[in-house]
Structure 1
Amino acid sequence: MQPVEGGLREHHKAQRRIRILEATRRLLRESPESVLSTERIAERAGVAPATVYNLIGPRDKIWEALATEFMDELERRLGELGNCGPQDVVRSTVQLFVADPVVSRRLVREWEASGLVFARSPLTQLRRALADARSQGLLRADIDTDGLATVVATACVGALHQWVAALIDDDRFLARALFALDVALAAAAADPHREQLLTPLRDRGTV
């Protein structure tokens, strides 16, 4: 009986944790500029403030938990796509940000540990996708795909912060992120695929 009871206890804890994070998202959507407190989250989730602290932690840990959920969802979406390319990684990441704009903007603005957005970052998936493109011969064999991914990610983070500040809209956010990727791919293209990878830039009238 002990394993069953332990499993049930863990299930209830997981369900309360889900309820707490959903309550956090609802509070943020309703009052985008309000102070996020453990007490308000607990009241909305129907639990004690101590439960919020014990299951998740202080406010910074709440941002971290929301970021973890973001990455879980991104990995799920990319997994459904199968062998996704770098465009899929960039597009899926941007689409996930804009799908819940209030929560995304607060997360990026206020979580001090966000760094390149998250500790678990789409940069990992982008590195993998670019390395796959190199192994497939789309990119030159001498290209440092980790470095290339970092350059693209830096440009995408710049576009993200412009979007967070409401300087650009959703469509421009996606367009700028994909443009940064297209420039990097064209610069790193292997000769047989150069014209193919230059096409998106030519279509934009930038080449």
Structure 2
Amino acid sequence: MAGEAKSAVAKDKPAAGLRERSKQRRIDRIVDAALDILRENPEENLTLDRVAARAEVAPMTVFNLIGNRDQLWNAMADRAIQSLEPSSVTVEDPRERAHAIVEEVVCVLRSDPDVFRQLLAGWSQSGLVLQHDPTVALIDCLHQAVKEGTLKPDVNARKYGEVLAAGLIGTIHQWTAGLLNDRAFGTRAHAVVDVVFDAARP
């Protein structure tokens, strides 16, 4: 009897894994459909019905697998920024590392402008787009620069890092609003790094 029970459990495990993979494929298809709609018609209202039709599933399937409209936007944001990981940037010089972090943020956003402009401008919880917040990584750059003596020893690295991050986010929102083109976006974002580091020099 015990052997039969173990055999039944062993058979159930592959079945459960198959169900999970099938569920994830449907979730991926729904998120892909939503992102495609944003890219093709960024000015049109994104509804669960439109996403369901594009993904070839029932609207209730979208709700059951992902949730309401805000949860769908959250899933889209997760997908869009999955490659953004500021803490993984490894450059020895702290100022150059700060530039590399900013460049990574800029490149990710510019790689899919229609999606990110909608996520930042058209979603009530748009702050979640930047949940991979670069602030901590930028503060670490300033801490290292203070230790190495390239910045004043009494510099408040946290305060300067927060100012740098705020300047970067402000630049992102200018780009979102169409006030900066892609080239100016990158130039302005890197200028924020230089202004903060120069202000903290001995």
- TM-score class, shorter-chain normalisation, is 0.7 to 0.9
Q: What CA deviation, in whole Å up to 9, does each residue of 1:99-133 have, x standing for no partner?
A: 11111100000222223853342334333443344
Three-state SS of the structure 1 residue aligned to 2:42 is coil
Question: Which ranges in structure 1 are unaligned for 5 or more consecutive residues?
Answer: 192-207
Q: Which moved more, 1:26-35 or 1:6-15?
A: 6-15
CA separation of 1:55 and 1:137: change in aligned 2, threshold 3 A: farther
Counterparts of residues 106-145 of structure 1 (less than 5 Å): 106-115=118-127, 117-145=129-157
Give % identity.
37
Alpha-carbon distance between aligned partners in 2 of 1:140 and 1:115, rounded to the nearest angstrom: 32
Which residue number corresponds to residue 20 of structure 1?
Answer: 30
C-alpha displacement of 1:83: 4.2
In the alignment, what sits opposite 2:79? 69
TM-score between both structures, scaled by the size of structure 1: 0.80
1:118-176 Cα deviation digits (max 9, x unpaired): 33423343334433444444434433322222111211222112211111100101111
Match of 1:45 in 2: 55
Stretches of structure 2 that go unaligned for 5 or more consecutive residues are: 1-10
Distance change in 2, residues 1:67/1:147 (3 Å):
farther
> CA–CA distance in 1 between the matches of 2:146 and 2:61?
48
- Matched ranges for 1:1-207 at <5 A: 1-75=11-85, 79=88, 81-83=89-91, 85-115=97-127, 117-189=129-201, 191=202
Aligned length: 188
CA–CA distance in 1 between the matches of 2:38 and 2:116? 10
- AA partner of residue 44 (structure 1): R
Question: Of the two, which has the highest radius of gyration?
Answer: 2
Query: In the alignment, is the contact (CA less than 8 A) between 1:42 and 1:52 conserved in 2?
Result: yes
For 1:34, what is the secondary structure of its paired residue? Answer: coil
- TM-score, normalised via structure 2 length: 0.82
